[in-house]
Structure formats: C-alpha cells, structure tokens
Amino acid sequence: MISATNISKSFETPGETVDVLKDLSLDLADGEAASIIGPSGSGKTTLLNLIGALDRPSSGSIWIGNQDIATLTADEATRFRNHSLGFVFQQHYLLPQLSVLENVLVPRLAGDWKEPAEETEQRARELLAKVGLDHRLKHLPWQLSGGEKLRTAVARALINQPSLVLADEPTGSLDPSSTDTIADLLLDLNRDQKVTLLVVTHNQALAKRIGKTFELRDGKLWSAVAK
Ligand SMILES: Nc1ncnc2c1ncn2[C@@H]1O[C@H](COP(=O)(O)OP(=O)(O)OP(=O)(O)O)[C@@H](O)[C@H]1O
Ligand SMILES: [Mg+2]
C-alpha cells in the first residue's frame, strides 16, 4: 500500500536549510496499521504530508498502491486525495461558516461522486454518531470544544470511505474515553474493512493498541515498542 523509499525532505528558510527527513524508508502492506511516535519537530507531520501528496519529497520515491505519487499532476493528486485518502489534520481546518454535518460532507462536494445525496448524508450522520456527536449536528465550529472539532475532523476524513487513513494526532485534545472512541473507530475500520492506517500520536496507549510502532528520530524511522 505505502512504499516510501529513501525519502529526504529539506526546507529552505532564510539563512539555513532545515533537513527534516533523511533517507527515510517506510513500507506498509495493504490493510496494515502502524503508529508513528517521536518528539515535537522530528518531522511526523512533514512525513504524513508527503504520503498524502500534499507536499513532495526533496528526493526519494513514494508509491501508494500502484501510483508513484511524485509523478501525479495537480489534478491527479486531488483525485487521489478525494478517492483513496482520509486525512485527519493536526490542525483540523473545519470551515467556520459550516455546521458539523456540513463540514463532514465537504469532501463529498469535490470530485465526481455518483452516490445519492441522502445516502451520503446518512453515512455522515452515522459517522458523527460513532464519534459521539449526533447531538451537535447543527453546531458551528466555534460552538464546539477542541475535542469535538477533532472528532468532527475524524468523521470528515472517513466520509469518502478511503482505503488509506493518515491521522495526525487524532486524539490530541481528547479525554481517555473519547480517545478510546476514536481508537475503536479507526481500529474497527482497519479490522473490518481492511483500511490501511498510519497514525501519528503522542499517546503511548493508542500506539500500543495499533500494534506496530515506529519512532521518528534523526530524520529516520526506527522500529519501536509502545510502553
Ligand atoms: N514549511 C516549512 N518551512 C521550514 N521549516 C519547516 C516547514 N515545515 C516544517 N518545518 C520544520 O520541520 C521540522 C519538523 O516539523 P513537523 O511539523 O513535521 O514536526 P512534527 O514531528 O509533526 O512535530 P509536532 O509533534 O510538534 O507536531 C520542524 O523543525 C519545523 O520547524
Ligand atoms: Mg506535527
């Protein structure tokens, strides 16, 4: 599913080049789940952005399924993100003028979906019920708590039934019970629908539940054991 080989990523800033990822490789089979832990600033979000085709590596190759994502045109990258990928961002980027339900439906507005609108909306309601937000459908983002915004973003990432979910701290601002809810949802998808899952987390308990763990350190991924 994911085959990233010898990828490096540097950022040019005034005065210096920041080398974030250095010759990093990652292989994840179809339907596999893994977590990435590592200190703040180690490059976890940078790596997810590369795998999600939101940014390009300075060198190296990234294959997702049978696509070399470095060679995608902008339109193809958008199509890949719309059809195959669910991305839970560390900053959730909810649209402020839209309700919770509408925000979850946003990914459905892009692309060429054929499904009847009622079915999509029904799925959005079910996802929101699963993340415990069925009583907040009409709230606007500013009327939500931090954890509720995050849970909305998780539901939004799943509306297109992606085969790959990349989640950047999906339980960052959640209490233990909501953390379990999100973990259950992601792990159920992985187990029942064979969704491939890559989760960045500072939460050792979540990393442990996901099973396979990598630590991002010194620009590379190292096999790790969650405590
Ligand atoms: N566009 C950019 N320009 C310059 N430097 C950048 C850019 N994006 C990220 N960096 C730098 O790359 C490093 C890694 O950033 P990244 O956001 O990937 O870290 P992270 O592991 O996700 O950290 P956190 O746990 O705090 O979210 C940081 O030192 C950051 O300053
Ligand atoms: Mg980050």
Decide if 205 is inside a domain. yes
Decide if 141 is inside a domain. no
CA of residue 48 to ligand 2 center, whole Å? 9
Decide if 119 is inside a domain. no
**Residues 65-121 pLDDT 10s:** 989 998 899 888 888 888 899 999 888 899 999 999 999 999 988 777 888 889 999
13 lines ligand 1 (CB under 6 A): yes
Decide if 132 is inside a domain. no
The residues, any chain, with a CB within 8 Å of residue 197's CB and separated by 6 or more, are 32, 33, 34, 164, 165, 167, 186, 187, 189, 190, 210
18 lines ligand 1 (CB under 6 A): yes
**Residues 112-163 pLDDT 10s:** 788 888 999 999 999 999 999 999 999 999 999 988 999 999 999 999 999 9
Nearest residue (by CA) to ligand 1, atom 9, is: 46
What's the structural domain count of the chain?
Answer: 1
219 lines ligand 1 (CB under 6 A): no
**Residues 165-190 pLDDT 10s:** 999 999 987 888 889 989 999 999 99
**Residues 4-18 pLDDT 10s:** 999 999 999 999 999
CA of residue 91 to ligand 2 center, whole Å? 9
Decide if 157 is inside a domain. no
Decide if 47 is inside a domain. yes
Q: How far is it, in rounded angstroms, from Cα 76 to Cα 177?
A: 39
Range of the domain at 216: 2-95+163-224
Nearest residue (by CA) to ligand 1, atom 29, is: 41
CA 84 from chain center: how many Å?
Answer: 12
Q: What is the CATH number of the domain that holds 73?
A: 3.40.50.300
Decide if 156 is inside a domain. no
Pairing of strands 196-200, 164-168: parallel
